[in-house]
Structure 1
Amino acid sequence: MTVDEVTARRRPRNRRQLIVDAAGPVFSARGYHGASMEEVAAEVGITAAALYRHFPNKYALFVECANLMVDRLLRVLEEQSDAVGLPGLLRALAEETLDHRASGGVYRWEARYLEAEDRGELRGKFAAVVDGVTDAVERELGGTQPRLRAAAALGAIGSITLHRTPIARQRAEDLLVAAALGVAEAEPGAAPASGSLVHLPSRPEPASRRAEILQAAIPLFAERGFPQVSMGQIARAVGLSPSAIYRHYPVKADILAAACLQTAGLLEQAVGQALQGVRGPRDSVAALAAAFVAYSFENTELISVAEAEIVGLPPELQRPVTLAQREHVAVWERWLGQVRPELDARQTRTLVHAGFGVVVEAGRGLHWQDTGEHRDGVTALLLGALGVPA
């Protein structure tokens, strides 16, 4: 028996699946560009050369990882009968999502890094998942805009893949199912007409070169993808020579971090304004919801970039941005904890993130068309996820 034959006999038959299972958490933790084939190979316990026998390049591996979660969700839909009802269907989807929490965040990069054909195929699969949940919502609940409610409910469930709050498995499952049901049962037209009345602080007019660079860079990042935009392109957008931009920002990641911090500051101001004169925890949560929805509709470009790229920032740049995000979540925890005192701190935090997931998916479903009606509708869905009736 030759060496090759011995090696082949020892090679697990499911090695390709083992590679995909190992790669998902690496992509989720490092980002597409931060992940390496060598790191994935090390997680599997094989050489990089062995990995390349299964996948010719990182992109091919990423495509399979990006499809893995949605393929599993489609399988759940196929296996569930109408008899389980909407609660049973949502629980099965939540179970599958929690089983692969560490790798589920890969979907956040699909629109940015997949080629057009692969992106279209993946989005078609996600649409089929939404279709399946929409059918159950229409059948059991009726009401208006069932597809929007279905997509937002899936956003509540999928949110667990985008943060690291430690929470017991069964508690997380019960919480996600309850949040998703709350969204499905909400009526997008039921929120008080407050979203259209929220006015965020105006982004300051650029009064310096640094500010001009920030203003020019984010649309470029959103349109082309952060890795594909060069410092030279940003410099030309503000009328600087390529070398001059480095006097203001030594590396491109500094620009993204600064933009995220600037926007976090605007959100903090908006929250402060929203809570002024508000009495009681319930009204405070409603005010926070309206302010966050307004912020999301007004900052879609930056949110889409930050969602995909923050994990790839160096730790020293990522840390202050993450701290600002945690401080914002802490405000929600304080007020929601008073409205829902039966929840502990981890449950409350998980529920807040579920609400954020609802806003993202509902906003996408509405193509982020910024109208008062859309803001109010998304606010109603967010409050439904939190268990705070509109």
Structure 2
Amino acid sequence: MTAESTAATRPRNRKQLIVEAAGQVFSERGYHAASMEEIAAAVGISAAALYRHFPNKYALFAECADVMVDRLAAVVDESAADSTLDDVLTAIIRVTVAHRSSGGLYRWEARYLEQDDRRKLRTKFGQVISRVSEMVQREHPREDDGLRAVAALGAIGSVTMHHTSIAQRRIEELLLASALGVITVDPGAAAGSAESVELPAQPVPRTRRAEILAAAIPLFARDGFANVTNVQIAQAVGLAPSAIYRHYPGKVDILAAACLQAAGLLAQAVDRSLHQAGDPREAVIALAAAYVAYSFEHNALTSVAEAEIAGLPADLQRPLILAQREHIAVWEQQLRTARPDLDPRQARLLTHAGFGVVVEAGRALRWEDTPGHRDAVTALVTGALTI
């Protein structure tokens, strides 16, 4: 085959195809677990051809992060001067849904960006938030317009974090209703909810194994699992690095234990909250309040469990995925009791929207754990569920 014929068969949008495939692989496998060979195979090219477009995996990863934010910024910037909030949110939803499989790298994987690249990403996304905040303030004025805008975008972005299959038009309708529910929610809808939540306490480390786990969780949360070494964990506990192996076969087993602990604490919190509910709507609010309280109180543990599960081997993932499914099934059941108009898939999609609200609103509040913050985020979650 001549050079001319090879060039003729090479798609002109190959770089775009690479970025799309890479975004999906990074979202599903995590930055460190993904390989250039795997990405090249997904595009249908050789690794050598991939390196002609990107010099290394990090350069490709940074490009993926930039592309999605640029798409969101573009639809916001291109909106007409007389566009309504509904118009802008609908445009954001369509972009997010269209690139659903590759958008998930933002929520957790972006922490692996270098400082300058992370700052650029934050600035670009901040511009999107500012534009939405302005429209929220104009159409639904209140002091917390910024928080409501961030939470609404969290509800929309949640669709990148799960695989629930629904017709695209219905997804767009549900996400728009959820985002508007967040924006128009009564701030007093969950007042006092924080006071009614009784969370299980995180176990006090009384053994060496428990001490290792307690020391590892904040390190994983701060630096990312792949960047933490057994030497760092051992130093935090006051052990020689070799002593770690007496308690855990490897670092990945510490991560699995952290994720299992998170799942157990959350299951206990849910059980306690539902016992106090008097009717279906109260049950959903109680469930939301418990999830919010758990997320604030055990933030490091939660972020590790959510961010790092994709990096676990299949045998260690299995019990965690089962626990996740059981938790979501509780939400689905309670939400459908409160809203009989929803089918199971629609209820699951809205449940994930509520989770997205907690993540983004919690970050916006810097996870400062106060009763007022818990109540505010609980109200935003109930808005996202449109109950």
What is the TM-score normalised by the length of structure 1? 0.96
Gaps of 5+ in 2: none
Structure 1 contact 267–295 (Cα < 8 Å) conserved: yes
Query: In the alignment, is residue 30 of structure 1 matched against residue 26 of structure 2?
Result: no
CA distance in 2, matches of 1:82, 1:176: 23
Aligned partner of 1:131 in structure 2 is: 130
Structure 1 contact 86–137 (Cα < 8 Å) conserved: yes
Counterpart code for 1:169? Q
Structure 2 contact 27–109 (Cα < 8 Å) conserved: no
CA deviation after TM superposition for structure 1 residue 111, in Å: 4.2
Identity %: 63
CA distance in 2, matches of 1:29, 1:110: 10
Q: What is the CA deviation profile of residues 249-277 of structure 1, one whole-angstrom value per residue up to 9, with x for unaligned ones?
A: 11211111111111211111111211223
Structure 1 contact 76–93 (Cα < 8 Å) conserved: yes
CA distance in 1, matches of 2:81, 2:290: 38
SS at match of 2:337: helix
Aligned partner of 1:367 in structure 2 is: 366
Counterpart code for 1:39? E
Give RMSD over aligned pairs.
Answer: 1.5
CA deviation after TM superposition for structure 1 residue 110, in Å: 4.6
Counterpart code for 1:92? A
CA deviation after TM superposition for structure 1 residue 6, in Å: 4.2
Structure 1 contact 143–187 (Cα < 8 Å) conserved: no
CA distance in 2, matches of 1:209, 1:255: 12
Structure 2 contact 258–305 (Cα < 8 Å) conserved: no
Aligned partner of 2:260 in structure 1 is: 261
CA distance in 1, matches of 2:313, 2:276: 40
Q: What is the CA deviation profile of residues 216-261 of structure 1, one whole-angstrom value per residue up to 9, with x for unaligned ones?
A: 1011112222111112221232233222211221121111111111
Aligned partner of 2:104 in structure 1 is: 105
Counterpart code for 2:342? L
Q: What is the CA deviation profile of residues 13-49 of structure 1, one whole-angstrom value per residue up to 9, with x for unaligned ones?
A: 2221111111111111111011111111111121111
Aligned partner of 1:313 in structure 2 is: 312
1:1-390 mapped onto 2 (5 Å cutoff): 3-388=2-387
CA distance in 1, matches of 2:148, 2:183: 5
Counterpart code for 2:190? A
Gaps of 5+ in 1: none
Q: Return 304-313 or 20-29, whichever deviates more.
A: 304-313
Structure 2 contact 40–50 (Cα < 8 Å) conserved: yes
Structure 1 contact 74–129 (Cα < 8 Å) conserved: yes
Q: What is the CA deviation profile of residues 91-135 of structure 1, one whole-angstrom value per residue up to 9, with x for unaligned ones?
A: 111111110110010112354200000000000111111111111
Structure 2 contact 262–305 (Cα < 8 Å) conserved: no
SS at match of 2:241: coil
Q: What is the CA deviation profile of residues 180-211 of structure 1, one whole-angstrom value per residue up to 9, with x for unaligned ones?
A: 00001114344221214423111121122221
Counterpart code for 2:96? T
SS at match of 1:127: helix
Aligned pair count reads 387
Q: Return 273-282 or 68-77, whichever deviates more.
A: 273-282
Structure 1 contact 67–122 (Cα < 8 Å) conserved: yes
Structure 1 contact 359–382 (Cα < 8 Å) conserved: yes
Structure 2 contact 260–320 (Cα < 8 Å) conserved: yes
